[in-house]
Structure 1
Amino acid sequence: MTAADGAALFTDDTALAEALPGYRPRPGQADMAAAVARTIDDGARLVVEAGTGTGKTLAYLLPALASRRKTIVSTATRYLQSQLADKDVPLAQTILGRGFHVTVLKGRANYLCLHRLEVAEGAMDMYSAPRIRAVREWAKTTQTGDIGEFGDPSDGDPIWPRITSTTDNCLGTECPLYDKCWVLHARREAQAADLVIANHYLLFADLTLRESGFGEVLPGADAIILDEAHKLPDIAGRFFGQAISSRQLRDLVRDARAELDALGGDMPDRRAQIDDLSQADRAWTDSLAGGAQTQSWQELATPERIAARDTLIQALAAVTQGFDAVASRSEGMQNLAKRADELATQLDTVTVDNDGERVSWLEIRGSGWIWHSTPLDVASPFARAMNTMPGAWVFTSATLSVKDSLSYFCNRLGVYEAEERILPSPFAYEDNALLYGPQGMPAPASPDFDAAVVNEIVALVNAADGGAFVLCTSYRAVRSYGQALVDAGFSPLVQGQASRASLLADFRADENAVLVATSSFWEGVDVRGRGLRLVIIDKLPFASPADPVLAARFSAMKAAGDNPFMDYQLPQAVITLKQGVGRLIRDAEDRGVLAICDPRLFTARYGGLVRASLPPMALTRKRAIACEFVAQLAPDALANSS
Structure 2
Amino acid sequence: MDANTIYAVVDIETTGTNVAEGDRMIQFGCVLVQNGKIVNHFNTDVNPQSAIPQSIQALTGISDKQVKRAPLFDDVAGTIYSLLSDTVFVAHNVNFDFPFVNAELERVGYPALSIQAIDTVTLSQILLPTVPSYRLHDLTHYLNITHDHPHSADDDALVTGELLIVLFKRMLALPIITLQQMVAENADLPQDTAEVFKWGLQAVRQRPKSLPADLHVTNGIALRQTNILTTTDERSYTFPRTKKNKLKHFPKHFEWRADQAKMMNLIYRQYTDAETVNQPLIVEAPTGTGKTLGYVLPMAYLAQRYRKQVVIATDTVLLQNQLMDQTMPLLKKMLPFETHAVVVKGNHHYLDLARFKVSLTQPDHSKQTQLIKLRLLVWLTQTTTGDLDELHFRNEPPYLSVVYHRGLTDLSKTDPFYEDDFLRRLYQRLPQVQFVVVNHAFLIQHAATLGQALKQPYLVVDEAQHLADYALTTQRQKFDFQIGLATSRRLLNELDPENLESLTATIKVAPLTDRLQTVFRWVIEFERQLNALSDHLISQFRDQFGKPFSSPYKEIIITEADWQQFLSQRKGLLEQLDILAAKLQTELTDLTNLFYQQSTRWLKSDEERFMRFSQTVSALLDAWQTLTQIRQAPQKEQQGAGSYLYWLTVSNDLTHIMVASNLMTVTGYLSTQVYQHFQAPTFTGATLFSSNRSQYLYDQLDLDRTKIKMRRLKSDFNFEEQAKLYISTDAPDISDTGAYNQYLANTILQTIRRVNRPTLILFNSLAAIDAVYAKLTDAINPQQRLILAQGNSGSKEKLIKRFMDEDNAVLLGAASFWEGIDLPQEKLQLLIIARLPFDSPEQLETKAQYTRMKAAGKNPFYNLSLPKATLRLRQGVGRLIRTREDYGVVLVLDSRLATKHYGQTMVKSLPDSLPTMSSGFPKLLKDMTNFFKKHQTNHQES
Please, what TM-score do these two structures have when normalized by structure 1? 0.84
Distance 1:321 1:40, change over 3 A: closer
Distance 1:510 1:360, change over 3 A: same
- Paired position in structure 1 for 2:669: 381
Structural mapping, 1:4-19, within 5 Å: 5-6=239-240, 8=241, 10=243, 12-15=245-248, 18-19=251-252
CA RMSD of aligned residues (A): 4.2
Contact 2:526/2:580 (<8 A) preserved? no
User: Between Structure 1 and Structure 2, whose CA radius of gyration is higher?
Assistant: 2
- TM-aligned CA deviation for residue 401 of structure 1: 0.5
Q: Does 1:407 align with 2:725?
A: no
- TM-aligned CA deviation for residue 107 of structure 1: 1.5
Deviates most, 242-251 or 188-197 = 242-251
- Paired position in structure 2 for 1:547: 843
- Paired position in structure 1 for 2:437: 197
Distance 1:612 1:234 in 2: 25
Distance 2:409 2:485 in 1: 12
SS in 2 for 1:180: coil
- TM-aligned CA deviation for residue 377 of structure 1: 1.8
SS in 2 for 1:93: helix
- Paired position in structure 1 for 2:398: 158
User: CA offsets, 1:319-355, max 9 Å, x none?
Assistant: 8499579655435778865763563353265379996
Distance 1:205 1:264, change over 3 A: farther
Amino acid aligned to 2:239? D
Structural mapping, 1:479-498, within 5 Å: 479-489=770-780, 490-496=785-791, 497-498=793-794
Q: Percent identity?
A: 25
- TM-aligned CA deviation for residue 530 of structure 1: 2.0
SS in 2 for 1:633: helix
Distance 1:179 1:13, change over 3 A: closer
Contact 1:511/1:531 (<8 A) preserved? yes
Distance 1:435 1:246, change over 3 A: farther
Distance 2:938 2:486 in 1: 58
- TM-aligned CA deviation for residue 441 of structure 1: 1.0
Amino acid aligned to 1:25? R
Contact 1:429/1:615 (<8 A) preserved? yes
User: Relative contact order: is structure 1 or structure 2 higher (C-alpha 8 Å, sep ≥ 6)?
Assistant: 1
Contact 2:286/2:687 (<8 A) preserved? yes
Distance 1:106 1:359, change over 3 A: same
Amino acid aligned to 2:248? A
Amino acid aligned to 1:150? L
User: CA offsets, 1:180-215, max 9 Å, x none?
Assistant: 2211111222221011122111111112x55xxxx8
- Paired position in structure 2 for 1:451: 742
- TM-aligned CA deviation for residue 427 of structure 1: 0.7
- Paired position in structure 2 for 1:303: none
2:256 to 8, 21, 24: 24
- Paired position in structure 1 for 2:890: 594
- TM-aligned CA deviation for residue 290 of structure 1: 7.6
Q: Does 1:142 align with 2:388?
A: no
- Paired position in structure 2 for 1:104: 343
- Paired position in structure 1 for 2:714: 424
Contact 1:443/1:598 (<8 A) preserved? no
Structural mapping, 1:71-90, within 5 Å: 71-90=310-329
- Paired position in structure 2 for 1:357: 643
Distance 2:657 2:327 in 1: 39
Distance 1:37 1:455 in 2: 53
User: CA offsets, 1:414-453, max 9 Å, x none?
Assistant: 1232211111211111221111111221121123111112
Contact 1:121/1:129 (<8 A) preserved? no
User: CA offsets, 1:490-526, max 9 Å, x none?
Assistant: 4311112212222111111112011001111111111
1:633 to 925, 932, 941: 932
Structural mapping, 1:46-445, within 5 Å: 46-67=281-302, 68=304, 69-127=308-366, 128-152=369-393, 155-167=395-407, 170-171=410-411, 175=415, 177-207=417-447, 209-210=448-449, 219-244=454-479, 256=491, 261=502, 264=505, 269=520, 273=524, 291=551, 295-298=555-558, 320=581, 323=584, 327=588, 328-330=590-592, 340-341=620-621, 343-344=623-624, 346-347=626-627, 350=630, 356-361=642-647, 372-405=660-693, 407-416=695-704, 417-445=707-735
Distance 1:34 1:527 in 2: 30
Distance 1:47 1:638 in 2: 41
Distance 1:241 1:493, change over 3 A: closer
- Paired position in structure 1 for 2:268: 37
Distance 2:901 2:657 in 1: 39
- TM-aligned CA deviation for residue 597 of structure 1: 1.4
Contact 1:538/1:597 (<8 A) preserved? yes
SS in 1 for 2:262: helix
User: Can you give the 5+ residue segments of structure 2 that lack an aligned partner in the other structure?
Assistant: 1-234, 496-501, 508-515, 536-541, 560-565, 594-610, 635-640, 651-655
Contact 2:694/2:867 (<8 A) preserved? no
Distance 1:292 1:47 in 2: 47
Deviates most, 354-363 or 597-606 = 354-363
SS in 1 for 2:396: coil
- TM-aligned CA deviation for residue 370 of structure 1: 8.4
Distance 1:507 1:604 in 2: 34
Contact 1:11/1:30 (<8 A) preserved? no
Distance 1:64 1:325 in 2: 44
User: Can you give the 5+ residue segments of structure 1 that lack an aligned partner in the other structure?
Assistant: 300-305
User: CA offsets, 1:203-232, max 9 Å, x none?
Assistant: 11112x55xxxx879634531111111110
SS in 1 for 2:668: helix
Distance 1:321 1:419, change over 3 A: closer
Distance 2:455 2:414 in 1: 26
Distance 2:475 2:663 in 1: 7
Amino acid aligned to 1:196? V
Distance 1:316 1:334, change over 3 A: farther
Distance 1:66 1:110 in 2: 31
Amino acid aligned to 1:111? Y
Distance 1:200 1:362 in 2: 28
- TM-aligned CA deviation for residue 115 of structure 1: 2.3
2:915 to 601, 605, 618: 618
- TM-aligned CA deviation for residue 97 of structure 1: 3.8
1:520 to 790, 798, 816: 816
- TM-aligned CA deviation for residue 635 of structure 1: 12
Distance 1:361 1:265, change over 3 A: farther
Distance 1:246 1:203, change over 3 A: farther
Contact 1:74/1:224 (<8 A) preserved? yes
Distance 2:692 2:642 in 1: 32
- Paired position in structure 2 for 1:302: none
Please, what TM-score do these two structures have when normalized by structure 2? 0.59
